[in-house]
Structures are given as C-alpha cells and as structure tokens.
C-alpha cells in the first residue's frame, strides 16, 4: 500500500514540478534576462541604484546607462543590472541589485559593486 501511495504521489507532483520549471527549463524565482534594457522603468531602476550608492558611500558617480540586466521574481522583483556610471571623466561598469515592490512604492539597493 505504501508503494502504491508513493507512486500516486509522484504522478501528481511530477507535472507540478515540470510546470514550475517552465518550457525553457528556467526555475521559478530564477534570473531572467531583460529583453529591453532601454525601457524607461529599467533605466529608472539603474539611476536609483547609482543615486542610492552615492548617498550611502558619499560618492559622486553619475548614471550613464544600463548595459545589461536580469530580473528575478520574489516578493516583488529583484533587478540585477550592469550600469555604466561616470566617476569624473572615467566611465566604469557596476553591478547593482535593486529590490522593488511597486505596489508599496518600495525600492531598496541591496548590492552595488564594480564589475571586474
């Protein structure tokens, strides 16, 4: 009887697991590439990341553009962006992670570091 229940449970859970993986093999909650990095909202998130980094570190970087990015659906959305920012006359790339919950008007810079 236990083997029969295990077999039945496996048959019920397997389709749910396959659906969670999606057609492309991506895991729910995994990072997905942003198709349009010039989207105004994506640029807004990039600018926010640079502004918040400046506030926290007393730096004076100026946002140039979003170079590439990915999103992750969590309780809200994580944005992992590579942003170009100027430090004086020098432009460098930085990886920024911003957590956003738009229904609460909430954004939080969780990481900002130079790209090697």
Residue with the larger pLDDT of the pair 63 and 2? 63
Torsion angle (degrees, nearest 10) of CA 88, 94, 99, 102: 50
Residue with the larger pLDDT of the pair 26 and 38? 38
Residue 11 has pLDDT above 80, yes or no: no
Q: Could you tell me the pLDDT band of residue 108, with boundaries at 50, 70 and 90?
A: very high
CATH number at residue 64: 3.10.450.10
DSSP 51-106: HHHHHHHT---EEEEEEEEEEEEESEEEEEEEEEEEETTEEEEEEEEEEEEGGGTE
Predicted confidence at residue 23, as pLDDT, reads 44
Torsion angle (degrees, nearest 10) of CA 75, 63, 113, 108: -30
Q: Are residues 10 and 58 in the same domain?
A: no
Mean pLDDT of the residues in the chain: 85
Q: Are residues 8 and 49 in the same domain?
A: no
Write out the two tokens for 18.
């396959």
Count of structural domains within the chain: 2
Q: What is the tens place of the pLDDT at every residue in 56-102? A: 999 999 999 999 999 999 999 999 999 999 999 999 999 999 999 99
Residue 26 has pLDDT above 70, yes or no: no
Q: Are residues 102 and 69 in the same domain?
A: yes
Q: Are residues 13 and 60 in the same domain?
A: no
């Amino acid at each position: 009887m236990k083997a029969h229940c295990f077999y039945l449970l496996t048959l019920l859970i397997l389709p749910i697991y396959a659906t969670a993986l999606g057609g492309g093999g991506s895991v729910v909650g995994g990072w997905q590439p942003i198709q349009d990095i010039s989207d105004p909202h994506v640029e807004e998130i990039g600018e926010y990341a640079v502004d918040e980094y400046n506030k926290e570190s007393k730096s004076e970087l100026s946002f140039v553009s979003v170079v590439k990015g990915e999103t992750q659906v969590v309780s809200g959305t994580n944005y992992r962006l590579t942003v170009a920012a100027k430090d004086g006359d020098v432009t460098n790339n930085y990886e920024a992670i911003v957590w956003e919950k738009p229904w609460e008007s909430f954004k939080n810079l969780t990481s900002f570091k130079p790209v090697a």
